[in-house]
Amino acid sequence: MPILANICHFIWKKLKSSKVSNILRIFFGLSFVLYIILIMSAPTTPEAAKSACIFCNIANKLTDTEILFEDEEVCVFRDIKPASKYHVLVIPKRHIEDAKALVPADKELVERMLSVAKELLAKNNYSEDTARLGFHWPPFRSVHHLHLHVIAPEADLGYIARLVFMKNSYWFVSPEYVISKL
Ligand SMILES: [Zn+2]
Ligand SMILES: [Zn+2]
């Protein structure tokens, strides 16, 4: 890449000194500027390839977060601040801002997220009835990438967690509610 840049610089210097038409000079000048912008913006390291969204990075395996389950559409990992014995997040691999940003075409995806959550609860010997499942409802959300909280048993939720993950509140809604709106 630096060799190419040197060649460009050499051509630019030649153009400046020679009697080339102004239009051609502008054309080469603009091409040179564009080339520099492309070099500057190209991701060169895995670090540069990382997105600003932490959950996209987890889904793309750019972090060392342990993935508990994944398929083509969703992925599951532990919540970093577990509110009970079992607390995982089911996220779509595609970046979706929040539950409000969902469109009717996403209905199957949300249903898939819910069925994955139920399968994991059963696999870990927790009953659905004693678990707390839900989505943050904007503007009350933490990470701006849609995630389904799966918490069990809900009886173990502390005072603050009971508030944050309050069933069918203005800020935390059930997956069934989200699906019914699509
Ligand atoms: Zn994301
Ligand atoms: Zn959350």
Answer yes or no: do 134 and 167 share one domain.
yes
Give residue 17's pLDDT: 62
The answer, yes or no, to whether the previous bond of 82 is cis (omega within 30 of 0) is no
Whether 78 contacts 137, CB under 8 Å: no
Give residue 30's pLDDT: 59
63: in domain: yes
Give residue 23's pLDDT: 62
Give residue 44's pLDDT: 47
- Which residues neighbour 17 within 8 Å (Cβ) at sequence distance 6 or greater? none
| Ligand nearest, relative to CA of residue 91 | 1
Residue 36 token pair: 């520099």
Answer yes or no: do 101 and 121 share one domain.
yes
Give residue 26's pLDDT: 59
Give residue 14's pLDDT: 64
Ion ligand 2 contact residues with beta carbon within 5 A: 142
86: in domain: yes
| Ligand nearest, relative to CA of residue 51 | 1
What's the gap in Å between 99 CA and the centre of ligand 2?
A: 11
Residue numbers in the chain where pLDDT is lower than 70: 1-21, 23-24, 26-48
Answer yes or no: do 99 and 153 share one domain.
yes
pTM of the model: 0.74
Q: Which of 87, 136, 147, 149 is catalytic?
A: 147
- Give the closest residue to 92 by CA, choosing from 122, 43, 132, 53: 53
Give residue 124's pLDDT: 97
Q: How many domains does the chain have?
A: 2
Give residue 37's pLDDT: 47
Could you tell me the residue range of the domain that residue 82 belongs to? Answer: 54-180
49: in domain: no
Answer yes or no: do 77 and 33 share one domain.
no
Residue 99 token pair: 């539950």
Give residue 142's pLDDT: 81
Give yes or no: 136 in active site: no
